[in-house]
Structure 1
Amino acid sequence: MDADNPTLSGDAKERFEQLSDCLLRRICLLDYPPGTRLSEADLAAEFGTSRTPIRRALARLEDAGLLQSQHGVGTLVTDVSLTEMARTYELRCELAGLVGRLSPVTITTAHQKQITEFSQRAAALLASPDARRFAALNMDFFIFGTELTENQALRDMSLRLYYHTARIWLQSIPQLDLARETAIFSGEITQIGEAIAASDPLAAAMIRQAHISLCVVRLKKFAQG
């Protein structure tokens, strides 16, 4: 679902998932920066739905640590410190390696097609770096990576940790070299694409793990000024 142009469709369950995904992407892409107050009434009007699914979606995001309800204030987007983010990245690094070991999927032509699409998006970013498009591609590519395991618990934990810190990385981009980060990310996609072409999900996971580890190093340097 397009976070910029939300249109709910399908049955009640499908519309709820679309709604939750849209709000999630808006938080991760900083459309709703930390501290933003989300109004059930305003969201219900925007999405053309009742407040009940809005309330359920906000509760899901609060459970994920992305929102916080404060009495007398409302529902606010949470923040994450650089120190907390670095620690979370360290855990994400360990989980990334497990994706290739615990119930890895069989690589199909659909996976290879997705890699081709990611590579095309990365090439467009290299030609014209953009922080928001970088973050959107990073999110979509990470989700793709979690789908290389059939272990649902591992998927869920990996995604929860990713969503908790993704927006802080986007906040840091203005202080980083976006063109360089884009080139590094494009290289990662290329390397993982080669592993996918070889039908080797373990190699893909190891490459992902190595890049997350290097990302932690860069973030720590950024935090230290």
Structure 2
Amino acid sequence: MASGVTIGSDGEARKPAATEIHDLLRDRICLLEYRPGAMLRENDIAGEFNVSRTPVREALQRLSIEGLVEVRNGIGTFVTTLDQEQLREVFGIRVEMSRLFGRIDTREVTAADVAILEALLTRSRVLMDKFDVHEHWRINHRLHFAISDLVLNKTFLEMWHNLYFRAARVWYDVSRDIWPEAVGLLQLEINDLLTAARENDIEAIGYVKRNYINFCWKRIASRQRS
């Protein structure tokens, strides 16, 4: 849990802003530290971060817009649940959006982009010996934003991020049970993305994402049927 303060660029302790609170709450939801259906109490969160309820309320409102929490008037704020049909729709849209890579505004892949992917591949290899769901999350999280950074279309990115986080918590729940396969898929994905990135082939990057989104959905759907 957070300590309630962060350190600014000047080295001074400061209270976290609404954006920082949002990001941490989002990560907790994706890692199932807040389970579907759990109530998020403004007072408790404000007390943890030593802030007023205003930035907490802003963070929860953003999570609500993203579909990760539901505000029930007069009752409270709850982590949303996703049934199999909703999940199928989320993954289906993600697959279709990945087909648009290379057809919308993007930038060229740089040596720095390739270096990020190479570093993530190195980090992922450690997971095969000792699985850590938090490190698995951090690698996937960084990978998502590294690839997303190639896209310049802000409208696309808003939906792309939204759907990623809606799907993430389900995948990380499944990955705990199939972690050798989940880590193997992650390593294969990064390898394939590296091949496409080194060729500066944005469309190929999209096809790689499409394939691995499909792979993840098949594992999730199979687990839910069993």
After TM superposition, the score normalised by the length of structure 1 is 0.89
Residue 41 of structure 2 aligns with which residue? 39
3-state SS, counterpart of residue 98 of structure 1: coil
TM-fit CA distance, 1:220: 2.4
Contact 2:39 2:78 (8 Å CA) reproduced:
yes
Query: Kindly tell me: are residues 42 and 86 of structure 1, through their superposed partners in 2, closer, same or farther at Cα, counting changes over 3 Å?
Result: same
Residue 102 of structure 1 aligns with which residue? 104
Aligned Cα root-mean-square deviation (Å): 2.1
Residue 214 of structure 2 aligns with which residue? 213
TM-fit CA distance, 1:95: 0.5
Residue 17 of structure 1 aligns with which residue? 19
Residue 200 of structure 1 aligns with which residue? 201
TM-fit CA distance, 1:131: 2.9
Runs of 4 or more off by more than 6 Å in structure 1? Answer: none
> Aligned equivalents of 1:68 and 1:5: distance in 2?
26
**Structure 1 gaps, min length 5:** none
Aligned pairs for 1:1-150 within 5 A: 7-10=5-8, 15-150=17-152
Residue 186 of structure 1 aligns with which residue? 187
Q: Deviations over 1:74-114 (max 9, x none)?
A: 11111111231122101101111212321121111221121
TM-fit CA distance, 1:139: 2.4
3-state SS, counterpart of residue 6 of structure 2: coil
Letter in 2 for 1:16: A
**Structure 2 gaps, min length 5:** none
> Aligned equivalents of 1:74 and 1:115: distance in 2?
41
TM-fit CA distance, 1:224: 2.1
Contact 1:99 1:148 (8 Å CA) reproduced:
no
Query: Kindly tell me: are residues 220 and 212 of structure 1, through their superposed partners in 2, closer, same or farther at Cα, counting changes over 3 Å?
Result: same
> Aligned equivalents of 2:5 and 2:194: distance in 1?
32
Number of aligned residue pairs: 221
After TM superposition, the score normalised by the length of structure 2 is 0.88
